[in-house]
Chains A and B, each alone.
Chain A
């Protein structure tokens, strides 16, 4: 099976966001400790499957320089932030930076997102910049991050919120 879209179970030429969602979903599905695929494959088969998924996604990222199709193109002159082409930050290490990069990549501005999430732009910016000292208490923060991630169509918003709270834990411990 050589077509990377087929490997990820996608229609050919879908947007990068959708490909990433499928990639994350499959990676989780075939993870070593995944209950949902327990005993479905041997450990060699599992590794091979994971490799194929990894390769397929890389190929899609490398060849598809298309913009994500989930969001409309914005006129160039409305952009007040620089274009970024590098890889996305690690969502585990830097969930805030990850969200920020993803938002800019999709062409949304903070105020667009504030409008959709009903969370103020300054709060959203603090979340993106991971300004831990200025963040609301975890119980609110969790909700904000979830909402932000959902609005952007992040593959697993709950996981991302978990990642974010983990970021916070050591900072609180130090205080």
Chain B
């Protein structure tokens, strides 16, 4: 400013300008307010000019947001396959078609609900990862292939199926990807295909709410015993007999024997004649084969041993089995050459299915089928086919959502000619599928042509059935069977297209749009010199025209060419031409273009941080440990800031810079102690966010945190204001009273909440509930109706000191007035920054209430760090650098984790919607959850303009352009992360960890980008309008 500091080019101009201004002011009586008409008119005009420039800037940034939204939408619509789930249950008494014509009365589970049952009881043995070729002898074609360790070790299934075809059959059993146990169990029990998002009433939990085999069995009062892998209990809580069931931890893949021995030890006593009356269905889930695969791979002696053990177990079971029990042995998926699974390679999806009965029940449609298929390519059945097959064999209704078909071998009769039975069961199954599809068509649009074709098939089959009545010949039944099968296959294909195949062109186009707008944003943010706000008109007009033109073009092309999907074409063309419009505007102002590549250590650091983080999201480990990586990066920034501060020539800059840099590092590390670990981080991570790793309530000591915050944080922030003598007027009222009172209320809320939860004062629970909600509403009211008006209408935080001599202070502007006395303007040097930063505290108050006590503490640290960062940036003269906005991005992402969140659906704190409300209210409830989840990113986005305003001269030219640059850089950080996570999720769409890691991170990246966009444009840049105009009242709008 004016104290001999070497000023940059811009600062120099601004400083001399303000000097002239000050001299002019001297002649005016009050020294501050212009009174002449000319000056007032000029001020008015510059105000109008500013409002126009500001409005155009907000609109242009919104255009970029729209382009990004189009990209995200296009990618998401091709990638996030959604399946809606229903709560409907099939009922025993309500078959999907009339069965009475066949002289069978439906409705009794004793005889069989919809169809006469074949077995009373069943034992289902699930051998995890039992690949089909483990169960068949080495095929003759591969005679020159040497037997591997996994060959010929488990022959019992093949032998029985071959030697006693009426008692047993063995078939390849094809899984739908993803081949992970949890998804497979869902398919095996509900008969549905896995989709990306199972959108139903229960979004967060793992329990299956859809109709399924297990709940149908439970409904029919069957006693179900489960032994082995505990995944079943997460899916079907409370369905199993509590006394006989023995779940085992499934995570330790190094342990090959504990689960298996446990299952074997418990299953044989239960098969004993004394005990068979205690259960109706027994599920034994063996994990040894899977673990041996994960640990050693299939071609290893350990696998031979494991398969031999299974062989022995099954032989013993066959011996002990009674006449009325069905024995099923199956794999839920296979394994690849390394013994892993999750994807959809042949080896991973080809499991085995074997059914056995002491009585002769099964048959083959051709004698040549007595020999089980040599490879999984022949005569395979789908895993979902198990659902109708078991339902009909055990006499329970087919689950409502089932898409599978009855397995031929189980219904064709011992002679292999009972096509009547086969047609009957297929008619029942088809009718249930039809019922389900009718419901489904009402919630999600399907491929119309394909659906019409399948409906025709269904109609034809029914007509054939009705016309023949009960007197059809075997061949005619065989024909009907074929027709029903056609319908089932067509329906399955429709559903697969809808739920299980990615729309790759859409995904690619989405990525293209995101990349294109990222480049435009990068050039805008880092590749233009001068005042960015001047460029809004040309960028906006060309970009806008391009978008509209593109939309029209897309509409035209898609109308002219019938094969082009309309919505897809419009969106893609609009986004591409919008970007082209912006590119042409950038070309138009090409003399202002400079290299986007960094030219200082800080520029490089910003790029390195952003790129390293983005590249890292391609690896699941780096995604899992993102919180630690952010800690590492933030500390690195802090240390470089220490070094940089030490390089400053001015002592005050050095002292302040080093102090705030060290403070920044220490606060980062302090905040890092708050952790909520995701499952994949176990056991290397200890959660501290809640009272214990298994609870989601705060410990009693944590309730003190919000009180401490209420006492200290306003004082600390006040310190930052006092440093530049800006603790004046409204700042005193808001920081010392408004903010503190609001924070105390929010602390009180959490204390009452704990009292209510823990029932500390029995009998006043109702009163506690009411009063805590009122307190929460009051806190938000303070933020919204006291904080925001304060911010909007406050005068600049200045004060005037009159006298003859003034103690010198860098933040005093001394204006001589009259002969001997002079006026000192206190807070002059930080009038913009101090005025704008009030907004950060307003948003902090609102965000803090919605966090758990621990989160309120870490968010307070975040707020404190933001002010430290402002000082670091100011003392190191980095307000034009990209590092400030990027570090705010890192800081926001870091505190996302520190406020008890993870990039996983399960970490969403749904209960935060009920902090100020009793019931779900739109749009407030989702907004509250967003504020809870992304509070840290929102707070940091609000702080972005402060980076370029803190300690800047009041009349510095081009401040609005600086705000635009900083905001665009901040958004650029999130846009890069979003593009990277989008690309990785699209590229790794067949990866084992897609559902658990990559797609949640992609969804988070896209959501954060949109939220930060909205906050940065409308709250942050929007907020500068108020603070600039307020400062302009006094000094004139720059």
Q: Are both chains from one complex? A: no
